[in-house]
Amino acid sequence: MENWELKSFLLDFIKLEGPHSGANIKEAFLKSLKNFNIESNILRVTTDNASNNITFLKAVETDLSQRYIHFNTIQNDDESSDEEVDSLIHKLRILIKKIKASSQQEEKFRAQCKVANVPNLNVVLNVRTRWNSIYDMLVRARKLKEPLNTLSNSDLSLRPYVINEEEWVHLLEMEELLKEAAINAINKLKNYYNKTDSTLYAVSLILHPCLKVEYMKDNERERQWIDKTKKSVKNFFELYLPL
């Protein structure tokens, strides 16, 4: 920079061999820095939010002897980065795990529910193998926001996991986004029901010991669809009943 005029130079353009993984990008980046002897002169690294770039930046920070690089990812100002979202979900998850892991904490939490005059509901912890369980966790946390805030603010062991108002807004946005995604997925699946063998689907659904007709009721199927399903199953069995 001369006379406060920003200067820009292209120093290197590297053809990356092999997969474009964070590790490979890191090796190419550090090699280029070394070739130009500027390893200690880097002030900032700017990338987009691609997952391999995030991995690359973390690997570079670990590899360099001095942490003199300020990592800055370009992102839309109106959106949180994936890393921020993951961090917030992780924060809520740890708070809930700590409450569920201790009978004393659960007792304190129930007391706070009573003080806040909210339903005495259990906190819900998401299960990584069930994609919709994050939504369930967010919905329940929103309903129990006041006792969660009070308990985490009053207990030293939980204070690192206090969720502030801005973070609650982000959690609500995530909840609404997941709900919209689920609705769109269900509507998309409905388009394919008529393309399948509806009789076999109905029979397998009703004979399933964990599903049966209650599954359709619990998932808010239309009454007309439930009646049609029951009728098709009845006709199917009458067809094969011995005379």
Give the chain's domain count. 3
Domain identity same for 122 and 176: yes
Domain identity same for 45 and 114: no
The pLDDT of residue 208: 84
The CA distance from 42 to 163, in Å, is 35
pLDDT one-digit tens code per residue, 9-53: 788 888 888 888 888 888 888 888 888 888 777 777 787 777 788
End residue of a domain, out of 147, 164, 185? 185
Residue 1 falls within a domain, yes or no? no
End residue of a domain, out of 51, 73, 95? 73
Structural domain of 107: 82-185
Domain identity same for 88 and 108: yes
pLDDT one-digit tens code per residue, 70-84: 444 444 443 444 445
Domain identity same for 105 and 181: yes
Residue 69 falls within a domain, yes or no? yes
Domain identity same for 176 and 206: no
Domain identity same for 89 and 175: yes
| Cut 0.85: pTM above it | no
Residue 142 falls within a domain, yes or no? yes
Residue 14 falls within a domain, yes or no? no
